[in-house]
Structure formats: C-alpha cells, structure tokens
Structure 1
C-alpha cells in the first residue's frame, strides 16, 4: 500500500471520498474480518484477524468435508468434553475478536467526515455485521458449553466397547414413578438392536406383564430364581426393578458403573428372555419426558385410530382425543397418548409407546438438535439416565444417521403370536433371528 493510498491516507476534507471509503471498510470487515485493518489501520491487528478468520473458515470446511466423507469423526469430536471445551474457548475468543475488529473499523471510518445522510446506514451495517458475526460465534460458545455440561451429566465415562455378533443391543426403559405407585416401575420395556455396520435397527418390545422371565447361570438372580421369575401370583417382569432395588446386595457395583440394582435386575431378565447381551441401557422418566418432546418441537405420529386420553380410574372420562391420521403432538399430549389406559389393553398401550419412542428417535437429527440444543440438553439431563459412555456417542450418532435412511423393524412379543404368561423362549429367539435377517439391507446390484 503506497503512502498516497486513498484508503489509508484519505482526503478527509472530501465527504464523498470518506463515505466511499467507509462503505468499503465496513464491507471488508464483514466479509473478511481483519482486512479493513490491513488496509487502513493496525496491520498487526489486521494480520491477526485475517489469520483467525481463515483458520475458522478452514476448520468449518474440514468439518463439512468430514461430515460428508467420514461423519463419525466430527460426531466423535462434538461429543468429547475436551474438544467441546476447546471449541467453547475458541468461539468465545473469536466473538471478542470480532467485536474488537468492528469497533476499530468504526473508529477508522470517521463517521463525522462522511455525508450526514449516510452515517446512520454505515453505522447500522456495522452493527448488523457485529451482531451477526459475534452473535454466531457467541452462540457456538454457548452450545459447546451446554453440550459439555449435558454429556458430563448424562453419559458415563467408560471405554469404547466393540459390538457383540455385529450388533449393539440397548435396553430402553420407560420409568413411571407416578403418584399411585411405590418407587419407579418400568412401564415400557424394549430393546433397540443396531447393526454396527449399516445402522439397521430392530426394536423389540417386551410386555411389562411377561412372566417366568429366565436368567443365565451367571446372573445374581439365577440363585433365587433358577427356574425363572416364579414368586407366586403376578410375577411380572416389570416388578423385577423393585426387587432389585430391595436387594441391592445382588448388584453391589451397580452404582459405581452408572446404573442401579433395579436396572441391572431388568437387564438380566430381558437378556434371559431375548437371549441377547445388552451392552447398555437408557432409562427415560415418563413423568418428565414431555419436556424433552417439547424441546424437540413436538413429534409427528401416524395415529391408526381415534384415541381417548384418560387415566385408568373408575368413572374417569376422556379429557381429550387424538384423532386418526397424521398428527403433530406436543409433549403433554404425546405423554398422555403413550400412557392412556382408557378402554385400552396393555398391548395397545405398548404399541403407542413404541410409536412415540420411534418418533422421538426420528426427531433427533443433527440440524434439529443444533437449533434447539440448549432446551434439549436441559430436558435430557432431567429425564434421561444411561450407562452409554461418552466415547461411544460419535459412533452411535453415525449409526443413528444411517438408521434414519432405513425402515425400522419392529417385533412385539405380544398375543396372539406370543404368550406372555408362559413364554416360549425358543420361539422368541427364532423370531428375533428372523427380524435381524429381515432388517439387513439388500445389497445394491
């Protein structure tokens, strides 16, 4: 830049020259932060700003390429608390840098030397650029901080675990600690079995009233129930959660491993019924999961028939109805749709609960989570408990993205095909094997 440069050494007595220069400087600060300083201000500050801008752009470009070519890498990074801490610091630092560069640009513009009619527009454009740049960077810092806090609060700090027989099997429990119950009791029991390569998912529904649940010889429950959970009348599988809580000595290490005796009792029982090893569990508090649905913006369901919403109390009447067809439900309505007992069988209720679970999983898209992350994270820490280690989140996010492109295979172990009172475990194992085979994507020719 020569000593006679009209940008660095303008004719301050010419409003036309100063106005034109002001527009250029403000536009350059918005497009390439730091470039205005290189041309008309502190070159040291300008070089720092331009380098920081190009580094940020480079990180974004690399992240987008990885998301397209190798998505598990960015998913892993954004679920790592150390990486999130670094991201939070960098976003916050860039937001501060943008504020400094914008204020310095306004100083260099020298508004009092521009045309009076243009001063408001020049200042307005600078403020818009300031809010846009610093606001986006600041929001990135807030999201990174919220993600780090949520991951630390919800997920375990365990190590990576390989799949078993090519699959990850996750126990999903809908805990219902209602006012009419003593303690928590799983109201919804299912297993999500995910192919570790394709993401193809089979959702297996286990009736909460299934009896005679069996246990392997290595289970702490095999001793008291070697012939299955037979304790007299109504020995339902869901009651084993309470049994485990009442006998914590059976699972003395459960709390240290991010679980509790009730969950471990349920895990052992479901493993025995299905003949699968369940690497992880997810427990969702049905009392509060409406907040999670609201945080996601509601869910969309294809309701098979008009459904009344009411409690199973003698003399109660529906306070609302969910009409047949495609319906978008808020958290309160979705919760009642999943839990309503009015003129309904347990098996119909199971099916509705599975529909809601599937809809929630479908709503967990990267774009949806990014836009609503703070609300989702806040709700998640209140209603979700799991022993999934944070190191597995990147892999599971990648598998979830793959699974959304495939149909979900559902297997409900309910009458008339299956008898929950006297379960045929060989028949259940055969049905699971058939479901796995059916869910495998057909190779393209």
Structure 2
C-alpha cells in the first residue's frame, strides 16, 4: 500500500485513523490550500488551488521586495483606479476559491467517522482557517473597493506635472462655512512647499487678515487690482474667495478643472504674496473636519498653554483646555483650532497648525487601515482638491521623504513682515531664504 493510500482510501471504520486524517487534511488546507484535494479529493481542484496559492505567494513576495526597492510602484497600484479594480477582482476570486477549498476539505475529512469528542475541534479549526484566509481577503477587497471609490470621488482627472524650480507648492485652505457665516470663507491659508530631491518641506502661513495682496500680470485679478487688492476698506486676503465666487466670469474654466472661482482668486493672491507658483490646492471643510478626526479615533495634541474655548462674543469661556497632552474628539479639536475667545487670529493660526500636524503624525497605515472605510468616507466629504490621481504615487513617495525630517515653518505675521502695507520684495526674499535653509538643514542631517 502506498504512503498516500490512507488519505485517499482510509479505513472508514477506524475512528483513530480518521481523526488523524482529519487533522492532517485541515492542517494541509491551512498551509497550502488545495493540497488536501491533491491527497484525498479532486486532483483537478487541488491543482488549481495549489497553483493559485503559489502564484499568490510569489506576488506577495515580489510586492514586499518592491516596497523596499521601488516603493513608487506599490504606491502607483494603491492610487490607480484601474489597478485597484483588478486587485479587488483578484481578491474576490481568491475568496471564492478559499471558500470552495475549505468546504470541500470538510467534505473529504468525513467528520462523522472521526472520534466524536474531536469532531468540533477539527470543524472549528477549518472554520478558523476559512476566516483567516477568506475573511482577510474579503476585507482587503473591501478596502480596495473603498479606496477606488474615494480616489474617483476625491481626486481630479488630469495629467502629470513636473515640479517648478525643483518644488511642488500646494495651497492649503481651511474653509469655514459655519452657521454664523454666509457661504464659505478661508479661515486658514497656508502653502506647503516641498523640495522633490530631499523631501524638505516648508509650511508658509498667511494670516486671513493679510491686506493688499498683489497679483501677477497674467492673473484675471490684475486688471481690477493692478496695485494689489484694494477694495476701499479692510481688504483682507480671505475676502478674495467671496470676490471670486461673486465674479465667476473671471475664472470661467475653474469648475471644469475641479476648482472654483473663489479658490482660484485665493490661489492668485497667495501666489502673489509668496512669489511661488502654486500647482495644486487642498481645501478642508472645517465643518466636516470633526468627522475625519473621529474616524481616526480622535487626535492627541500637546497643548502648550491653558487655553480658553468659546466664541468671540462670550463674556466667559465655555470651558478651558489644560496645558499638556490632551486627547480630543473631532468636535473638541475643531473648537480648539477655531476658538476666538480672548485670542488673536495669529493664536488661532498656531492652534490650527498644531491640529494639522497632530493629524498628519497619526495618519499612519497602522492607525488608518483598521478604520479605513470611515476615514475614506470622511475624507471624501471633508477634502476638495485639484490634485489629479496620476500625481498620487509621486506625492506619497514625497510624503515618505518629508516625514523623515522636521517641517520648517514660516508665518507671515506682524513682527515678521508688514501685513497691512506689505513690502513684497522683502517677503519674497524671506520666502526664498527660508526654502533654501530648509533644504540645507535636511542635507546637513
């Protein structure tokens, strides 16, 4: 009798042998799905299962190697709609295969012939194996589907753009469309400037009450405001969003390009202020911001000083946030960043930066993957951008470089620059010097 005969032709009247056989077949199905069928069931199904198992192992091994050798390729797959669709389809096929193999393994085990006391344990092991294999693949397929849907909803169509002077400059807007306001108004205005070679990143903050923003000669706002934004009263840079929305003819192609006239007017103003060409924008709706924080499980912020929370019209704060490490819910983080009680706009700018940096720090794969569906759903509702999906692999790769270094900060606030009657030659020189110093600091590490 051959060595494999007891598997394919067992002694049915021997509970001991059938029990051992059951353990072996279920164990083999866990180690190499399809091997149980090769030994004791349909060899054709077994060959399919084993072949597909080896293919999966090879793909996973290659992906792991590429992640360390050429991570951009992995980022491309993770951020490409077509690639994600293929990955999801393949995972669904594996789920179906593993379900068939697991159920068929239970069939060929013939549990009724095993010892009665052991039957539940063999069955439980088979079910556990099914959960670990098919369940994990099902979750991965769901993540791929959610990621695909989010990419389609959130990121624009468009072509690849090369960096300008070796940098990508992205306008970051925190839009506040609260119940006490008419329409949306940028409450936080920043530029993230990233050097593509080193990953050195600089955050340039512009106060929303910065006045007399200037424009380049090619801007649609150059003709109405050739000497800078002068509306006759307080001409704050944040008001240009509303001005653009009220004069959409200035930016007739904005909506078709995934933007709005208000965002484009703000982009032209910030470009004039900083002297930088801004390739893309990201707008975060602060009203929906709390959803994103809650989806992440809250956010931890090291509060530097005891801070009152409340409206500017309050005579007393609603409550105080104590100094030290605090864990905030989405609503608490939102109010910490936007509280106006006994605070200057510059204080609020600094608090909003703290919240942004805390979220970036906690936006790690290990933290996000288990909450991916909620995070993706909240992100699609909270974030608006004109970054095309084709740029995502490049930006993910840049983000990996950037997180390895401290972020340089430049706040264009009173005491640093003049914000009412700005001297743009001074501001542009300060921006250029800060960017160069950021790159030098990273190179010296």
Which TM bucket (shorter chain)? over 0.9
Q: Does residue 242 of structure 2 align to residue 264 of structure 1?
A: no
Q: Does residue 122 of structure 2 align to residue 157 of structure 1?
A: no
1:180 aligned counterpart, secondary structure: coil
User: For 1:442 and 1:284, how far apart are their aligned partners in 2?
Assistant: 29
Kept in 1: contact 2:4–2:39 (CA 8 A):
no
- 1:242-281 aligned at under 5 Å gives the runs 242-281=242-281
| Corresponding residue number in structure 2 for 1:241 | 241
1:284 aligned counterpart, secondary structure: strand
Q: Which moved more, 1:357-366 or 1:287-296?
A: 357-366
Please, what TM-score do these two structures have when normalized by structure 1? 0.97
Alpha-carbon shift at residue 373 of structure 1 (Å): 1.2
| Corresponding residue number in structure 1 for 2:433 | 434
2:327 aligned counterpart, secondary structure: strand
User: For 1:318 and 1:70, how far apart are their aligned partners in 2?
Assistant: 52
Alpha-carbon shift at residue 368 of structure 1 (Å): 2.6
| Corresponding residue number in structure 1 for 2:37 | 37
User: For 1:212 and 1:34, how far apart are their aligned partners in 2?
Assistant: 72
| Number of equivalences | 444
| Corresponding residue number in structure 2 for 1:63 | 63
Kept in 2: contact 1:369–1:376 (CA 8 A):
yes
Could you list the runs of 5+ residues in structure 1 that have no partner in the other structure? none
Alpha-carbon shift at residue 3 of structure 1 (Å): 8.4
Please, what TM-score do these two structures have when normalized by structure 2? 0.97
Q: Does residue 334 of structure 2 align to residue 339 of structure 1?
A: no
Q: Does residue 388 of structure 2 align to residue 393 of structure 1?
A: no
Kept in 1: contact 2:215–2:269 (CA 8 A):
yes
Kept in 1: contact 2:81–2:152 (CA 8 A):
yes
Kept in 2: contact 1:189–1:207 (CA 8 A):
yes
| Corresponding residue number in structure 2 for 1:11 | 11
User: For 1:208 and 1:4, how far apart are their aligned partners in 2?
Assistant: 78
- 1:95-174 aligned at under 5 Å gives the runs 95-174=95-174
| Corresponding residue number in structure 2 for 1:84 | 84
1:388 aligned counterpart, secondary structure: coil
2:5 aligned counterpart, secondary structure: coil
| Corresponding residue number in structure 2 for 1:178 | 178
| Corresponding residue number in structure 1 for 2:327 | 328
Q: Residue 13 and residue 146 in structure 1: after superposition, are their counterparts in 2 closer, same or farther (change >3 A)? A: same
Kept in 1: contact 2:274–2:428 (CA 8 A):
yes
Kept in 2: contact 1:3–1:9 (CA 8 A):
no
Alpha-carbon shift at residue 4 of structure 1 (Å): 6.1
Kept in 1: contact 2:198–2:442 (CA 8 A):
no
1:288 aligned counterpart, secondary structure: helix
The one-character-per-residue Cα deviations of 1:266-303 (angstroms, maximum 9, x if unpaired) are 00000000000000000000011111111122222221
| Corresponding residue number in structure 1 for 2:75 | 75
The one-character-per-residue Cα deviations of 1:310-339 (angstroms, maximum 9, x if unpaired) are 111243x32332221222222111111100
1:170 aligned counterpart, secondary structure: strand
User: For 2:205 and 2:94, how far apart are their aligned partners in 1?
Assistant: 48
| Corresponding residue number in structure 2 for 1:367 | 366
1:115 aligned counterpart, secondary structure: coil
User: For 2:352 and 2:444, how far apart are their aligned partners in 1?
Assistant: 34
Could you list the runs of 5+ residues in structure 2 that have no partner in the other structure? none
The one-character-per-residue Cα deviations of 1:114-138 (angstroms, maximum 9, x if unpaired) are 0111001000111111111111000
Q: Residue 437 and residue 444 in structure 1: after superposition, are their counterparts in 2 closer, same or farther (change >3 A)? A: closer
Kept in 1: contact 2:154–2:380 (CA 8 A):
yes
Q: Residue 270 and residue 442 in structure 1: after superposition, are their counterparts in 2 closer, same or farther (change >3 A)? A: closer
- 1:351-430 aligned at under 5 Å gives the runs 351-430=350-429
The one-character-per-residue Cα deviations of 1:374-397 (angstroms, maximum 9, x if unpaired) are 111100111110000001111111
RMSD: 1.4
Q: Residue 442 and residue 250 in structure 1: after superposition, are their counterparts in 2 closer, same or farther (change >3 A)? A: closer
